[in-house]
Structure 1
């Protein structure tokens, strides 16, 4: 049986139903039967089996502990009641009295019974019924007995005349977890007044049952204690006093029920390094509280929705939600996390789900901000990004979206590039782009999508008492639920809630188009920053001053907003035809054509979408699809589209080359209807088709570099290297003199691109030498430059000797 913890102090009654093999099992003189209850909502066919509640001094005690013994088909054959909790179970005579009893039925004239404030019920299942459980076993009709039969050890062997049907009795007991039934209407109303958010738990049930370990009650102990002394003014003095008394009964029960375990657990939470045990970790996972968990390997804030706990060896499943845009509207996105069991005590900050109150701050990793403030700043940036595409700089690791993202896939690894954050454009453009030709950019492994947990209901009104006096009165100025306005928002029309928590819960990852590799990726907002354009880049461009003046005058009208918000190309020209501007830059390699496009982008503050043949393909149908895709993006982002070395697409058509003719026609048609700015660079302008030549608005010719131009390019590289390194890199005077005066350098006739490459190679040699010697500052010496010059001269000599003159150009 279950026995009370204090037998001498507890009032107890045993009621056994049915005939007993041992009458002493039910002959307890100190217990008396009570009339069967009519109000306890038991199954109708079993109501005659239930006695009333035990009484002390003629009254039902505030707390009653009940043990119900159930047989086959979950039919109760006995119960015990006590004012004290039961602490152990024994297989005793009462389990042998599983004989169903046909009662006399309800007494229709019975008075409604008194009820306790709370009742703690434990169900004990026993499979020991009067009728044996028959198990059919295949046996030989004749079973030889062993030699030990002489000693009488034959009870486990059947004789030849024994039936093939054995009566197998399996006496075992299963004790279920206890559950609390709250009978007090005062207590029910109090809970409704303090529980603001507890999904999948129905406080409106007529019979309110709470399973052990009564998590919802432990999570709201403080709220109940506060409510006890701060009840609504609509409560009468008598009603308020009764409510306070009933709350005291409940709080006292919670204090004594698991007092030692909960008290020790809460002491662990207060240590310098807060600890937790797996058994009581749920105390920190109150629904509606903020926790941090890793999403795509990034710590992310969530609101706890509900938790699922099993046994001591079963993991805890924590379901939570955050706010994220599905393309057009901000919605709640559900996610589930698993906390595996652990032995002993564990630091809370090391767990996979960390309550916000126990987060261990790491200011260096959090951009110098506390975690909450960091999430707040990122959430506000996310809301700003929802207003439309925004041009930004990204330096950091890309988010590996994995199988939990709305749109899985994309590149991963470290990325330093200009990007366009475009949350709404992801839905349309991500799956329309060409397959990537960049084999050096890794992508995360694709897995089968994980179905998120079911979305709970978010309350729209605050909790309030539902007693008769409060139900008819709506307090003046009553506020909405703290969660009101948290979901289904249109960022372009709706006003966000005036609540920091709303921004904290917004996603810290955002989709964006990476201009460096022309692919979509998932970006960590922490690594985003405004684009710092180099307005002086155009001044240092080594081209004729006449060309500079012309270009600057033509592109001045294309300047973008300073805040990074995208300014799409307008539609205020002749409808859909000839709206754009096409610039043709032609000249020898390395004279500054591509650099001009980059400087124009810096000067205007617009994104530069640089395309090559690898992005477009060579088949006419694929070129048309890919070109339209990139031009649509260029139009959406107000980008300058650079078609670098586009000779293959614009060569003049020939009568017998149908494939090339189709390719050129596709290209011409796409350019005709583009409404933005296109820059085309080439060194074979003489081979262009005449139809294309008529579509060019501005054609700029770049002359070959002179020695004076090369010296200025070297000077510009020296200044940029010093500026970008913050003074850490220094070029020695001897190295500069060698570059300006050496015939070896002059004879190489390097172009602008080759000068930049030579500078980078010399820097790499200097960095390696400084690292070997343990120096903080890096100095590029004459020795480093000479090594680069020697390598370049040897390579050019080899090429010149091995290839015809007309195939090599410097």
Structure 2
């Protein structure tokens, strides 16, 4: 009897050793709750299976009240100076029977199908994370954000943990081990002693400042790519600018060498002012930091503080700073390059003029410059892989439209919008070969919609004028820009030229000519009564009738968007 009991004990011990061995070497598929202590042990490298995914190291494990298996693990975050252990606790409630290991919140790395590839990718991401956390970096988006904000792949950002910490004092960046609970918690790691294991355990979460939305966002490091200089930028030679403007700006930029430079660009909407600033930033390979009235508070007491914050950021990040319709800010920047845009027809006092180094006037587009913008857009289309164009037919249409429609001549942004809509029409109807052909007929459809919309707007304006003799002056006045009430916000700051509201230059420039098309899909013939098309970018859909019907429904859901934009485009003729 004693021998039988001994054999039974030996068999049980052998069975436990066999289970432990399988769980430890990654050959097991399932595990019971009571055997979790074999699967997770201190020092193990584990992978967090829930988003955001993260490689961690197990610090402590234990059973709580015999109903919860508790794992205290950590990974590494960087505050710009050192790597700090970030504590995270995982609780696995008691369960009955077997559970698949891949379904548990943490997986030991030995269970990776491609453990070498996974660790290699984690190490590479960790090195990128450390670079981003310790240096100011100008980056772009590879994919969507993982946290607070959604971002477009065209957006540019600045990663600078020191500025983020300064602007968010008191915020807890990392949840570290409580000293009273973990007196012997993992130690901080110096940046000069990092190993591949440290890199693999680095956080995937980084803060970055969006230069378009002017907001800080939580992003995944693998979604960020460093912005490098473009070997073939869309520079000054590719935009419709007077030759003397181009020569002067390029000369000033070459000789500036970090000194103060303030430039005022003023003129009609949509003639290239803001696009000039983008080309200038590309020319000297610096980020563009643009501020408009929409980015500023309406609280007069907080306005100066907010402005100074923008200026400090731009100076620290060595950006080309652009103020749109904000001439009252001249005295607040004492170094670096500053561009400002202003509308046509405003008057400048002598004190204002004395602070400007160079002032360039942008006249309305003539036929030559207009056709140059048409040609540039067509050249971009011809460089695409899936879209072909009847180049000469479209150029003839552009020429005829300018000659036959003196009231409705397009500015630079309107030409861009016309191309966006026309390309959308072309992509809703593929050829039998599966490609897409853009022709002048698409632009005729667009012109028909916009002309009807203008007639509708003009009729409404006439009705409004007849019913109210004291109405606000029309935004269609050809020789006078209507000013927004927003200018009152800045009355305490001294003489200020009028500030455009609905007629913002930054909203009426050629800036988007420097980006790839993301066409809207619009069946113009079926929404002509609305006279409106959304400006929002939408994903390309498959061709044929189904694509057209989806495009129509999408456009009709957003028909209100164009009313505000189109109303700012056109001016009533004399």
In structure 2, relative to structure 1, the CA distance for the partners of 1:751 and 1:768 (3 Å cut) is same
Q: How does 1:609-648 map to 2 (within 5 A)?
A: 609-646=289-326
State the partner residue of 1:370.
Answer: 117
The within-5 A match list for 1:56-95 is none
Once residues 46 and 294 of structure 2 are traced to their aligned partners in structure 1, the CA distance between those partners, rounded to angstroms, is 45
What residue ranges of structure 1 are gaps of 5+ in the alignment? Answer: 1-5, 11-83, 88-252, 363-368, 401-409, 433-445, 460-482, 560-568, 570-578, 651-663
1:429 aligns with 2:184: no
What is the CA distance between 1:450 and its match in structure 2? 10
Are residues 1:520 and 2:209 paired?
no
1:349-368 aligned at under 5 Å gives the runs 349-361=102-114
CA–CA distance in structure 1, aligned partners of residues 214 and 143 of structure 2: 17
* TM score, norm. by length of structure 1: 0.52
* Structure 2 contact 26–111 (Cα < 8 Å) conserved: no
Contact 1:589 1:683 in 2 (8 A): yes
- Bigger drift between 620-629 and 526-535 goes to 526-535
CA RMSD of aligned residues (A): 3.4
- Structure 2 counterparts to residues 390-429 of structure 1, below 5 A: 390-400=137-147, 410-412=148-150, 416-429=154-167
Cα distance in 2 for partners of 1:449, 1:7 equals 62
Could you list the per-position Cα deviations for residues 88-118 of structure 1 after superposition, in whole angstroms to 9, with x for gaps in the alignment? xxxxxxxxxxxxxxxxxxxxxxxxxxxxxxx
Whether 1:383 aligns to 2:137 is no
Question: Who is 2:451 aligned against?
Answer: 793
Q: CA separation of 1:311/1:387 partners in 2, compared to 1, >3 Å: closer, same or farther?
A: closer
Shift of 1:427: 0.7
* Cα distance in 1 between the residues matched to 2:219 and 2:285: 21
Q: Deviations over 1:8-33 (max 9, x none)?
A: 688xxxxxxxxxxxxxxxxxxxxxxx
1:283 aligns with 2:38: yes
Q: Of 242, 247, 258, which residue of structure 2 is paired with 1:549?
A: 247
Give the SS at the match of 1:287: coil
1:306 to 41, 45, 60: 60
Deviation, structure 1 residue 272: 7.4
Q: Deviations over 1:201-250 (max 9, x none)?
A: xxxxxxxxxxxxxxxxxxxxxxxxxxxxxxxxxxxxxxxxxxxxxxxxxx
Report Cα offsets for 1:230-279 as digits up to 9, x if no partner. Answer: xxxxxxxxxxxxxxxxxxxxxxx9x7664324424644777878333332
| Aligned counterpart in structure 2 of residue 759 of structure 1, from 419, 425, 429 | 419
Partner in structure 2 of residue 676 of structure 1? 336
Give the Cα–Cα distance (whole angstroms) in 2 for the partners of residues 711 and 742 of structure 1.
Answer: 10
The alignment's TM-score, normalised by the length of structure 2, stands at 0.72
**CA separation of 1:746 and 1:676: change in aligned 2, threshold 3 A:** farther
Unaligned runs of 5+ in 2: 463-473, 479-569
Q: 2:487 aligned with 1:487, yes or no?
A: no
Mapped pair 1:583 → 2:241: no
Task: Judging by fraction of residues, say which structure has more helix.
Answer: 2
Q: Does 1:540 align with 2:238?
A: yes
> Per the alignment, do residues 795 and 9 of structure 1 end up closer, same or farther by CA in structure 2, a change over 3 Å counting?
closer
Correspondent of 2:76 among 317, 323, 329: 323
The SS at the match of 1:643 is strand
Secondary structure in 1 matching 2:361:
strand
- How far apart are residue 734 of structure 1 and its match? 6.9
- Which deviations, in whole Å up to 9, do the C-alpha atoms of 1:702-748 show, x marking residues without a partner? 1221222122211211222344x4x1222234752553453478523
Which of these residues, 190, 193, 200, is aligned with residue 496 of structure 1? 193
Kindly report which structure 2 residues correspond to 1:138-157, keeping only aligned pairs within 5 A, or say none. none
Quote the Cα distance in structure 1 between the aligned partners of 2:402 and 2:244. 32
Alpha-carbon distance in 1 for matches of 2:125, 2:175: 27
TM-superposed deviation, 1:697:
1.0
Cα deviation for residue 751 of structure 1 reads: 0.9
**Could you say if the C-alpha distance between residues 623 and 580 of structure 1 is closer, same or farther in structure 2, counting changes exceeding 3 Å?**
farther
> Contact 1:327/1:426 (CA < 8 Å) preserved in 2?
no
Matched-pair contact (CA < 8 Å) for 1:336–1:453: no
Distance 2:154 2:28 in 1: 38
Aligned CA distance change for structure 1 residues 452 and 325 (closer, same or farther; 3 Å): closer
Q: Retained in 1: the 8 A contact 2:402–2:409?
A: no
Task: Please tell me whether residue 809 in structure 1 is matched to residue 571 in structure 2.
Answer: yes
Question: Which of 1 and 2 has higher RCO (CA within 8 Å, sep 6+)?
Answer: 2
How many correspondences in the alignment? 462
Q: Which position in structure 1 is the counterpart of 2:397?
A: 739
CA shift in 2, pair 1:743/1:751, >3 Å: closer
- Closer/same/farther in 2, CA of residues 8 and 683 from structure 1, 3 Å limit: closer
1:630 CA displacement: 0.3
Q: Which residue of 1 aligns with 2:375?
A: 715
| Distance change >3 Å, CA 639–CA 777, structure 1 → 2 | same
